[in-house]
């Protein structure tokens, strides 16, 4: 009877303490501040990926990061207007793996034919300091054409960048 009471007490204390722990974790997360971001062209290294996928990832990133509102201004690669921004950060995307699936297979079987792109997304400051670095995967599993993988990937990268800044 006594042990049951202790158990209930401990459980209650844990429940009450849980939000405090969560808030402490949230507060501990460092927020990086930058007014502008430049989206670098997707790097492929040795991975064979068609040009339309590279450009689609790049274009969707420009679109989605701009729409997220995390930065006042989003610049593209090569934009001379970005040269004078002191707190400019740069988003780099490097393709680590690519597997092109088949839309027909996906729609007929629902388990085969997935398209996937593995990337490493990193954000660097103007002085080259690494501010964020994470591996991500974009997928198309059921419906949609193979190029749809670029949308999924851009969505994930934008979410990550928005959370960090």
135: alpha, beta or left? (left if phi > 0; alpha if psi -120 to 50): beta
101 binds another protein (CB under 8 A): yes
78 binds another protein (CB under 8 A): yes
C-alpha–C-alpha distance, residues 164 and 65, integer Å: 12
Contacts of 101 (CB under 8 A, 6+ apart): 112, 113, 114, 115, 116, 140, 146
58 binds another protein (CB under 8 A): yes
Binds another protein by CB under 8 A, chosen from 43, 87, 107, 133 = 107
52 binds another protein (CB under 8 A): yes
Residue number with CB closer to another protein (58 or 71): 58
Residue number with CB closer to another protein (7 or 55): 55
CA-based angle 133:76:99, to the nearest 5? 55
Residue number with CB closer to another protein (52 or 133): 52
Closest CA to 93 of 40, 149, 150: 40
87 binds another protein (CB under 8 A): no
Question: Which residue's entry shows tokens 């085969």?
Answer: 112
**Where along the sequence are the contacts to another protein (CB under 8 A)?**
41, 50-52, 54-56, 58-60, 63, 75-81, 100-105, 107-108, 113, 143, 145-147
């Amino acid at each position: 009877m006594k042990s049951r009471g202790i158990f209930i007490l401990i459980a209650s204390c844990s429940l009450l303490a849980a939000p405090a722990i969560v808030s402490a974790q949230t507060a501990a997360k460092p927020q990086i501040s930058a007014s502008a971001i430049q989206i670098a062209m997707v790097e492929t290294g040795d991975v064979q990926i068609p040009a339309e996928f590279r450009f689609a990832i790049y274009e969707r990133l420009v679109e989605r990061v701009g729409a997220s509102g995390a930065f006042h201004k989003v610049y593209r690669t090569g934009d001379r207007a970005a040269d004078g921004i002191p707190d400019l950060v740069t988003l780099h995307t490097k393709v680590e793996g690519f597997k092109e699936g088949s839309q027909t297979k996906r729609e007929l079987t629902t388990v085969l034919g997935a398209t996937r792109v593995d990337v490493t997304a990193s954000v660097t400051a103007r002085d080259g300091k690494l501010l964020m670095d994470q591996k991500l995967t974009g997928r198309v599993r059921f419906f949609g054409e193979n190029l749809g993988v670029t949308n999924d990937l851009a969505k994930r990268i934008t979410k990550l960048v928005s959370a960090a800044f």
